[in-house]
Amino acid sequence: MVSKRTRRGPAARNLPTPAPAGHRRDGLILAIIVLAGLALRGAYLAELVHKPDYDAPLADAQYNDYWARGIVTGNWTPPAGQPDPQIPTTPYFRPPGYAYFLAAVYYLAGKSCLGPRLVQMAMGLLNIVLAFLVGRAVFHRTAGLIGAALVAGYGGFIYFEGELHPQPLLIALVLLLMLVLSGWAHRPTLWRAAVAGLVLGLLATLQPNVLWFVPVLVIWAGWVLWRGFGRDSARPLHPAGALRRLPLTALAMLVALALPITPVTIRNYRIGHELALISTSSGIDLYLANNPQASLVTPRLPEADRRMAPTGWSPFRWAEIVQAVAAQQGHPMTHGEASQYFTRRALEFIRTQPATTLANALRRAALLWGPQEASGDKVDEFEHARSRTLRWLPGFPAVLAGFVVGLILWLVDRRRAHTTAGPEPRRYQRTGSAVVWLMLWFVLVYSASLAPFGATGRLRVPYIPLLLLFAAYGLWRLGQLAAARRRRAAFVIVAGWAAAWGLASIALVPYKPDLATWYLDRAAAYLQKGALEPAIAEYQAAVLACPDNPAPYAVLATALLKKGDVDGALATYRRAIKAVPQATALRQALATLLREKNQLDEAMAQYQAVLDISPTDADTWCQLGSVLEAKGATTEALSAYQRALGIDPTLSQAGISAGALLQKRGDLAGAIAAYRQAIESNPNLFEAHYNLAAALRVQGDLEGAYREVATALHIRPRHPTAVSLLKYLQQERLRAGTRPAESRPATKPSGHP
């Protein structure tokens, strides 16, 4: 009997070949790696429990936490300061997979903040084992152990295991998908294909853009069957016969893929009466990244759309934005229709600005593959740098350098493998190579699917374990060369690795994490918990960190006002204006506070300064009018209101204020016209309907006054002044001999404030 060493021949002695699994030594080493990973996660968890946002999550993490707790408790009261996202009554805005995973954790482990972190860190330990199994299956058992060590010690994985985000679950499913597909490539049975489809479907409920990978997977499966990579099974198939199995294989994958997605689609249709496959966020996500004022990282609405979400973008505001779009378009809109509206706007921008779109996509790709952690919910770069545990662990440049070196070595070894004598090792190598090619395709397709949407550091996490497995292959081959005393080849690889690491550390796109935002996030978490003094300290640190950034001043002043320190807030605003004279929002806030303190002259000066910078700011003209009216300059005040309406006829407050001023001056016709204009722009204005009713009563139109006050009471039931006016009008109509009609509104408001 010929030994494997003889069959392979001398040319293959330094080539990677599979070794039988199940060595006790491998199990022992893997256990040590898992224990080391556990120690790192324990050290980070000890830090995490002292962070301000540990029990007060922000942004997307807050949305995930709210959603999961709502599923468990049935209490859908939104967090303080956030609008109702209407999750139970509308199609899913975000993919629901992680929310239900988190809800299961809360249900089983209690609704504590520690439960999700412990479960996700346990999942991180599972990912170490999965990395070993995938590395052993496609490369070599030693490469698998090295890959497990790299996964255990990568700081980005440990960091996201402590956040309320789906990254640990995504990593587990990606590695499991590659492990299942490796088994299918070795022995292509239908049940393995179905399991692969099921895993991919679960992935889609967490991150729908993985569906872009489905066509690639089907083509790859056909290629594997045609090449006959599974012919080392018990009953080998002819390539043509194996290829005929592709339709059944694809069907098994697609049916299993649909199993986790179909309940989501049915639920969305039952709730919203529209077809939403998984979620409705794709339209707004595309538009946030493709508009004239789009940021490469931070979701941002253009200035023209700020009224849809005046306090900034948040997933909590999606239902609010749908209503704003419906009012703007003049007809009711479903969530799916609103998503299509934003998709059309994004595609229109892409069509009219192809050069800008391409440049932005390339910049996002450079950020995704760049050395820094682009900020998501938090400023991840500073979270890593300020952690006693994470700051010592390798970052993405080391991963990218290892991937490049490992890929080059694998390609060189694969080319040399074609000269290997003997059929058996080549079958194993071809099967592993097929899965390696699929891993590369997954990385390419997944990263390409992110470029149109965003470039935050957490988006690239799902494909990083695959990059680490290539780095593990490179380290294993380097160890083989060193053991064989091939010093020159080993030196070339080490030098290449160092050069690749240096190049990967160069940022092709300028990106500077904002230290002020890091302090602001910490302050917001403290404020959410009611810890006012620590929040103020963080705000003050943010001001010192970035004195030319207006945002810290604004929130510091707000916190001081909550504390009751009005003088401190005024001093903060004045200091901000001195540092950033062009900050119109700070001038407006200062003017509002001065007006409340009856310092009208200084308030008027600040409003005028805003108008010198931005003369078409309708809101500021309206506020200036109110100050002039308080000073008794009614003619100038009326002129300011009319100027505001000339800029923005839909500014209802200016119409109401102008109408009230005209009514005081005895111009009932002008007042009624102003009130009607305000109502036309927003039918939900109680004050406009009530004032119009009072003006119509004075004019003698009792029927019109009755209808308007009824509408006002429809908006604010049992309002005492409106109820009194309604009773008075009923008596007047009885005296006039008019039969009272039912108390119905003249025009049904579009919604209730």
Name the domain boundary from 477, 504, 531.
504
Q: Please tell me whether residues 56 and 191 are part of one structural domain.
A: yes
- Amino acid identity at 217: L
Is the Cβ–Cβ distance between 674 and 642 less than 8 Å? no
Percentage of residues in the chain having pLDDT higher than 70: 89
End-to-end CA distance of the chain: 86
- Cα(395)–Cα(383) distance, rounded to whole angstroms? 13
Q: Please tell me whether residues 726 and 664 are part of one structural domain.
A: yes
Closest CA to 643 of 670, 668, 611: 611
Closest CA to 194 of 278, 250, 138, 244: 250
Identify the H or E element spanning 174: helix 167-186
Q: Is 304 within a domain?
A: yes
Q: What is the pLDDT of residue 422?
A: 35
Q: Is 535 within a domain?
A: no
User: With helix as H, strand as E and coil as C, how does 357-418 read?
Assistant: HHHHHHHHHHHHCCCCCCCCCCCHHHHHHCCCCHHHCCCHHHHHHHHHHHHHHHHHHHHHHC
Q: Is the pLDDT of residue 14 over 80?
A: no
Q: Is 552 within a domain?
A: no
Name the domain boundary from 368, 392, 424.
368
Sign of torsion, CA 487 492 496 499?
Answer: positive
CB count in 10 Å sphere of residue 78: 16
Q: What is the pLDDT of residue 679?
A: 76
Quickly tell me which residue has 């500077």 as its tokens: 512
Q: Is 423 within a domain?
A: yes
Q: Please tell me whether residues 44 and 164 are part of one structural domain.
A: yes
Q: Is 107 within a domain?
A: yes
Q: What is the pLDDT of residue 246?
A: 87
Is the Cβ–Cβ distance between 559 and 532 less than 8 Å? yes
Q: Please tell me whether residues 429 and 408 are part of one structural domain.
A: yes
Q: Is 677 within a domain?
A: yes
Q: What is the pLDDT of residue 633?
A: 78
Q: Which of 52-61, 419-428, 621-630 has the highest mean pLDDT?
A: 52-61
- Cα(191)–Cα(116) distance, rounded to whole angstroms? 32
Helices (H), 418-549: 423-450, 464-483, 487-504, 515-528, 532-545
Q: Is the pLDDT of residue 538 over 80?
A: yes
Q: pLDDT band for position 91 (50/70/90)?
A: very high
Q: pLDDT band for position 429 (50/70/90)?
A: low
Q: Please tell me whether residues 264 and 324 are part of one structural domain.
A: no
Q: Please tell me whether residues 435 and 492 are part of one structural domain.
A: yes
Q: Is 611 within a domain?
A: no
Q: Stretch 679-699: mean pLDDT, rounded?
A: 76
- Measured CA to CA in angstroms, residue 170 lies from 98, 157, 409 at distances of 9, 11, 28
Greatest C-alpha distance within the chain: 119
Q: Stretch 376-389: mean pLDDT, rounded?
A: 88
CB count in 10 Å sphere of residue 311: 12
Exposure of 557 in the CB half-sphere (CA atoms within 13 A): 23
Note the pLDDT tens digit of each residue in 621-675: 878 878 887 777 777 877 887 787 778 777 777 777 777 777 777 777 777 777 7
- Cα(573)–Cα(680) distance, rounded to whole angstroms? 36
Query: 668-681 and 686-699 helices cross at what angle (nearest 10)?
Result: 150
Q: pLDDT band for position 417 (50/70/90)?
A: low
Which of 338-342, 414-418, 668-672 is least confident?
414-418
User: With helix as H, strand as E and coil as C, how does 677-707 read?
Assistant: HHHHHCCCCHHHHHHHHHHHHHHCCHHHHHH
Q: Is 703 within a domain?
A: yes
Domain count across the chain: 3
Q: Is the pLDDT of residue 423 over 90?
A: no
Q: What is the pLDDT of residue 737?
A: 63
Note the pLDDT tens digit of each residue in 183-221: 998 888 899 999 999 999 999 999 999 999 999 999 999
Q: Please tell me whether residues 149 and 298 are part of one structural domain.
A: no
Name the domain boundary from 452, 478, 504.
504
Question: Residue 683 sits in which domain range?
Answer: 649-753
Q: Stretch 579-596: mean pLDDT, rounded?
A: 80
Looking at the whole model, is its pTM more than 0.85? no
DSSP type of residue 3: -
Q: Please tell me whether residues 223 and 299 are part of one structural domain.
A: no
Q: pLDDT higher for 50 or 708?
A: 50
Is the Cβ–Cβ distance between 169 and 54 less than 8 Å? no
Note the pLDDT tens digit of each residue in 104-135: 999 998 888 899 999 999 999 999 999 999 99
Q: What is the pLDDT of residue 615?
A: 83
- Cα(712)–Cα(222) distance, rounded to whole angstroms? 67
Q: Please tell me whether residues 327 and 440 are part of one structural domain.
A: no
Q: Please tell me whether residues 407 and 429 are part of one structural domain.
A: yes
Q: pLDDT band for position 748 (50/70/90)?
A: very low
- Cα(568)–Cα(550) distance, rounded to whole angstroms? 16
Q: pLDDT band for position 751 (50/70/90)?
A: very low
Q: Please tell me whether residues 431 and 457 are part of one structural domain.
A: yes
Which of 85-99, 345-359, 363-377, 599-613 is least confident?
599-613
Query: 618-630 and 634-647 helices cross at what angle (nearest 10)?
Result: 170
Q: Please tell me whether residues 354 and 436 are part of one structural domain.
A: no
